[in-house]
Structure formats: C-alpha cells, structure tokens
Chain A
Amino acid sequence: MKRTLAAVLALILVFAFSSAAFADSGSLSNQEVRGGASQIIAWGTRSEPNTMDLRVTSITWNGQSNFLFRGYDWETGLDCTYAKRVTGTGYFQATYTSNATEIDMYASISSTSTSDYLVFSGAYYL
C-alpha cells in the first residue's frame, strides 16, 4: 500500500515538473523597465499555437508613461506582434503574425534616460 502511494506521489511530482518545464510561462516580479532602448523581459519557446499572453498585476509608474510591449522573433529579430501601449493592470493577448518559434517579449518606456524606470509585476505565457 505504501509503495503504491509512493509511486502515485512520484508520478504526480513528475507530471507537475513536466508541465512546468514545457509550459513557456513564468512570473514577472518587480520587473524594472528602464529608459533608452527596449529591453527583453521574457523569452521562451512558443507553446501556444497562436497567442502571446501577458498579465499585469501591478505597475509603479515612478513618473513614467508610454509603457510598451512587443513580441519579437528571436531568430530573425523581426516583430511577431504589433506594439501594445499598457495603461493599467489586466490581461493582454496578441496573435503572432509569423511562425516564430523562439519568442522574446520586449518592453520599453518613453524616456531616453536609463536612470528613469518603472516597476511592474505579472506573468507571461508564450
């Protein structure tokens, strides 16, 4: 009985690990976005057939504005979504425009000074 229970628990652990390992998702905790060129905030192998998902749960603006997100095809350096101006918390989803497999999620603010920044938290799913 104990052996069976242990085997079941082990299987559950394996499945839990597998789903975490294959899901190209993650959390973004107190992520800084600085002024200047846009920055990669998440990357991974595309797992959804055709959408990039982003959940923003908090934003500390620090006087900044024009908080932009954009999906890039890592291999070609070309956009695979349009840019999205984020104005508040919530759920954001974009369809991919190409068959990109390795995805970078970029973010930027309007300031050109790298000492300017905002902070946000949330999660992504590529």
Chain B
Amino acid sequence: MKSPKRKVNAYRYTATVIILSTICLFCCCSHFNDDDLAYKATTIPSCISDKSQSMKECSVLFNADVIIPETEEYSIIEAKMRFFSDNDILYYIELLTGLNGNLYSSWELSKTDWRRRLLWAKQDNDDEKTPSYIIAYLQEQIEQAPLFVDKYTQTIKEFPYNALARGYLETGSSDVAMFTFIRGGNTFTYLRNYDDLIMGKGLLESNQNSIENVNMQEYYDWLIPDKPDISYEEAYSLSQHYLQAMGIDLELYYSEPCTVVRQRAKKSIGWVFTFTRNYSGLQAQFFDGQWVYINPDAPPAVGAPWNQEVCIMAFDKDGLCKLWWQGAASTSKCESVDLEEFGDIKSSINQQLYQMYGTHKNGVGVGLDIVVEKIELGICLIATNNLVHYGEYIPTWYVNYKYKWRSDKDTDNLWSAGQIMFSGVDGRYIEPRVLDRTICSLKE
C-alpha cells in the first residue's frame, strides 16, 4: 500500500513530465515557426474560396488557386536597359538570314509578284481548299499593284537613330525578310517574310466568338491551327539555339500552336513560344494581345521603366518565321527580401478591385460581379526612382480575375478576363505592363 507522501510525489512526477513535455512540444513548434519556408507553407493556402465583400455596387468573390513556385529565396534583382548598337543589329540580321547586305527601306509587290502568289494559292495543297476570301484578296491586289516597283537600299547608319525603323532584305524563295529595330534602343524583331500572318491558337479561337466576323467564317475556320507541321521538341530545340546565339537569357513561359499564312497564300502550322525573365524559379508573365485597364482614380503606385521584356518566336516546318524581342534588359546584383504577409495581399486585392470597379454601372444601373480565380507568385520589372534606363525585378503576385455585369446570365461569353499585379514585397498595386511615365500622366 502506497503512503500519502509517495502518492504526492507520484503526482508531482506526473505533473513535471506533463509540464516538460508541453515545454518541449512548444519549443518544437516555435522552432518550426522560425523556419521561413515552413512558416510560409502554413500561412499561404493553396486555394481561397470565400465571399470577401458584399456591396450593392460591386461584389468581389475569391475562388482562387494560390500558386507559389518552389524557390530558394525571394529577391529584388537590379535591371539595366540594353542598348542595341548598329553592330548588334547587323549581327542579328546575319544570324537570322545568313546575309549581310544593305536593307531596303520599303517594299512593295508588282502585279507579277501578286500573280505568282495567286497561282501558288490555287495549287492543290493536300486535302484543304484555299478559302475564297484569300483568292478574292489576291485578285484585288493584282488589280491595285503597280507594274514596276522602284526599290532603294540604305545602310544601317542611314536609318533614324533612337526611333522605330523598318528594313527589308530579299532572302530567296520569294521571301522578303522584314526587321524592325530601334538603333540605340532595346527592340528587335524579324519576320521571315514581311507580310506573312502569324497568329496563335488563343487569339484565333477568340475570333470565332466575335459577332462581327460572321461573313468570314470559312476563312476563320481555315485559320484555326490543327496539327503542327513541326514537332514541339524540334521547334523548342531551334528556339534554344536562337536564344543562345543572340544572348537572350529568358526562359519559356508559354507555348501554343500557331497558324502561318505564307505570303498571304499558303497555310502552315507551327509552334509559337513566349520567353520571359525567370529568376530562381519565379517567372515574369506576358500575354500577347491582352488589355490592361487603369482607373485614374485608383492608379497603380508604379509602372515599367520600358516595355515588358519578352521574346516571342514562331516556327514552322521551314524553321524560324518570327522573332519578336522587346524590352531587352541585363540583370545584375540581387538583394534578398521577405514576402509581405499573404493576408495583407488578399486584403489589397479586394480593396483595389473595389476601387477600380466599384463605381461602374451599366445602362440599367447594375454593378459588376468580380471573381478572383488565380493568384500566382512571379516577378515583374518596375521603375525605380523615376529612372528610365534602370529598374528592378521584384517578387509579384499576379492576380487573374473575371468580371461581368450582375444583370447578365452566368454564361462563359459574358464573363471577361482581367489581371492586376501586386508587389510581393510591400503589397503595393503595381502595373508592369504600362510605362511609368504614362501612369504619371494619368495621375496629373
């Protein structure tokens, strides 16, 4: 039989074990909380789905995936605008065409040239018939074209400095390459043939939904790309060759099939790749052809120092059809930073969308329903201290949302897509797709 004293000691022992265990457990939890990555993993959800605000004029709902790419650290990266010298431009032209002659300052086709194109378009091609729109277009061009065309060449130094210039070069097989560039600037583009049409699947499919195009349905159906004539792997491998040869240190962001209408007569199907800056697993986003909206009453804190840095390349079975390189930058030193609390970012998204759209009402006095669908961490280039040749890539929350009038039915074609960005460092609303000087002018 246990004595009362022993019984008390046993209680004390049990209590001590419980207290020590609790302390150990607490310490372990504290240790995990000190671990930055574990902390972020537990505080940023993988999706949010809640009704954050209900107002008469405008409602903002979250039904969003939250995407955070794996990264070792979050950084601010200094960026400097690149300046293409005349030698750089001549090197790119030679690399892409194998030629180094003078450029024509303009290009026009004669009647004979258009007749040749019409014959080519009428030639049987596999099982697909050339649309009547193309035949009619080529016939119209024959009517309008001059019999003879005078062409003048000029050296690179004869093109204007610091202004958008356009030059043409005959490369054989009736192709006339076109280059646009800014001497002393950071934009350079190439088209294998100056009037080839190159359109991505996304934009072509959006054409199908527009009511104004009903008269050209046959043409639009013909344009939709089916199976590319070049494999994805081969096209991607070629893109890597050009990136390396031109010193473009960007990484693949997006790819899709594209349609190429060669010399306005024949169709080929290829791949188009969009390359953007990637640092430590975080990537800049770029969507060709999409709209940006800024409400001057709720403007972004800062914009871009120059055009978004992107390189777009399209390939078909005969190789590179298009290279579009704009906003070229070089990056240098990095500074490690912490991310803003995600809860604060969510609150900023809610507040900013309401400030942008809260007063919008349609003809029957109804406001907008806004649904936030995706929140993804990446990087973007913004201006610093009003400098025009320097900027910073910073961690950025890319927020995709859709909106429609509350009075409209909940059908896909009545929703529109939008995107806004927030600094991952301090939560400010930023706009890397619009020049900072444009944003400043909106604030005046």
A interface residues with partner B (beta carbon < 8 Å): 37-38, 49-50, 53, 61-66, 69-70, 76-85, 87-99, 106, 108, 118
Most central of A61, A62, A65 by chain B CB within 10 Å: A65
Contact A88 B360 (CB under 8 A): yes
B interface residues with partner A (beta carbon < 8 Å): 164, 178, 180, 182, 187, 189, 191, 194, 197-200, 203, 206-207, 210-212, 216, 223, 264, 288-296, 307, 326, 356-357, 359-364, 368, 403, 405, 407-408, 414, 416, 433-434, 438, 442
Contact A49 B307 (CB under 8 A): yes
Contact B368 A87 (CB under 8 A): yes
Q: A88-B357, A118-B363 are in contact. Are A37 and B211 (CB under 8 A)?
A: yes
The one of A76, A88, A97, A118 in contact with B289, judged by C-beta atoms closer than 8 angstroms, is A97
A-B contact pairs, 28 of them (CB 8 A): A50-B307, A64-B362, A66-B408, A70-B212, A76-B197, A77-B216, A78-B207, A80-B289, A81-B291, A82-B203, A83-B210, A84-B416, A85-B403, A87-B360, A87-B368, A91-B294, A91-B438, A91-B442, A92-B294, A93-B291, A93-B294, A94-B289, A94-B291, A95-B289, A95-B290, A99-B180, A99-B194, A118-B363
- Which A residue's beta carbon lies closest to that of B404? A85
Q: Is the interface of A mostly helix, strand, loop or mixed?
A: loop
Q: Is the interface of B mostly helix, strand, loop or mixed?
A: mixed
Contact B206 A79 (CB under 8 A): yes
Contact B210 A93 (CB under 8 A): no
Contact B291 A37 (CB under 8 A): no
Residues in A with CB closer than 8 Å to B295 are: 88-91
Residues in A with CB closer than 8 Å to B414 are: 66
Closest 5 pairs between A and B when the two form their complex, measured CB to CB: A61-B363, A88-B360, A97-B289, A63-B363, A65-B362
The one of B164, B212, B359 in contact with A37, judged by C-beta atoms closer than 8 angstroms, is B212
